[in-house]
Structure 1
Amino acid sequence: MNKIHPLAEVQSPSVGEGTFVWQYSIILEDAVIGTNCNINCHVFIENDVIIGNNVTVKPGVQIWDGLRIEDDVFIGPNVTFTNDPFPRSKQYQKNVQRTLICKGVSIGANATILGGVTVGENSMIGAGSVVTKNIPSNELWVGNPARKVKNISND
């Protein structure tokens, strides 16, 4: 059974079993959300978005068209995603950048993930980091721009 707070606006019929959606969150009609997710308050999820199972999205996150988030991902508070390298007011892209957040990734608070990148399985992005290129699996990246700090195990 899902728990959708009465002050949330969930237009999508594709919200998995056991997912919680907290107050002041909006999920547009074509988004697909997996099972046992926790979508915290003040989250906006656009149409062309797929979120896997057991994903946690902390407050203040906007998940734009073109994002794919696999299972067991943690997205910290106020993480910023982009999908347009040259945004202009009232000029909308026909084809947005695709971004893939692979299974088991953890993204720290206030990190920025530029559009078109892939963050590999079980990687970690430090708080406040700016990810400008693909991140391999099982690595810790921090800084602006984000750089590899070390390999991490997925134990």
Structure 2
Amino acid sequence: MSDQPYIHALADVQSLRIGERTRVWQFVVILPGAAIGDDCNICSHCFIENDVVVGDRVTVKSGVQLWDGLRLEDDVFVGPNVTFTNDRFPRSREHPGAFPQTYVRRGASIGGGATILPGVEIGERAMVGAGAVVTRDVAPRAIVVGSPAKVIGYADALGS
């Protein structure tokens, strides 16, 4: 097996910082400033902006956009159609001087269709339920669901 990343012929990868053994599938756009780690899987129909850092062994399922200011640490799972936002007060043609940084810490998982507001931190090995709306920080190992997302338990209690 080659250590080179696999980049599908129908992907538009402008970044030179794509890690070893990472797979980038069709209809993915990765802008030049993005950094993607080793052994990642970036599924079809994803968009990754410039000021984005993706750690090692991260899975980003189809239909996800990673906007400026996002940091995904190692072993993160992002389910299909998760929505990350990076501007609390968006207006057409008005951009903030800097985008808030959003952190998804090591080993956290985000279920399909969840929405993550800008500037929050999702703690290590936390679980965000499908469709949840995360409006504030999520503690390490917390399991959150709903809108707004609320803690319903902790991963340790379930043996996860």
Q: TM-score, normalised by structure 2?
A: 0.95
Look up the equivalent residue of 2:19 and give its one-letter code. G
Tell me the equivalent position of 2:131.
128
The partner residue of 2:122 within 119, 123, 131 is 119
Q: Distance in 1 between matches of 2:136 and 2:61?
A: 23
**Aligned counterparts, 1:3-152, within 5 A:** 3-152=6-155
Distance 1:108 1:118 in 2: 16
Cα distance in 2, alignment partners of residues 67 and 2 from structure 1: 22
Percent identity over paired residues:
54
Could you tell me which amino acid in structure 2 is paired with residue 10 of structure 1?
A: V
Distance 1:38 1:80 in 2: 18
Q: Distance in 1 between matches of 2:95 and 2:136?
A: 23
Q: CA RMSD in A?
A: 0.8
Letter in 2 for 1:5: H
How big is the shift at 1:106? 0.4
3-state secondary structure, aligned to 1:7:
coil
**1:145 Cα deviation from its structure 2 partner:** 0.3
Deviation at 1:94, TM superposition (A): 1.5
SS for the counterpart of 1:136 is coil
Deviations 1:106-154 (A, max 9, x none): 0000000000000000000000000000000011000000000001127
- 4+ residue runs over 2 A deviation: none
Compute the displacement of 1:80 (Å). Answer: 0.2
Aligned-pair CA distance for 1:97: 1.1
Shift of 1:39: 0.2
* TM-score (ref. length: structure 1): 0.98
SS at match of 2:92: coil
Q: Write out per-residue CA displacement over residues 47-97 of structure 1, whole angstroms, 9 at most, x where no aligned residue.
A: 000000000000000000000000000000000001100101111122111
Q: Secondary structure at the match of 2:153?
A: strand
| Structure 2: 5+ residue stretches without partners | none
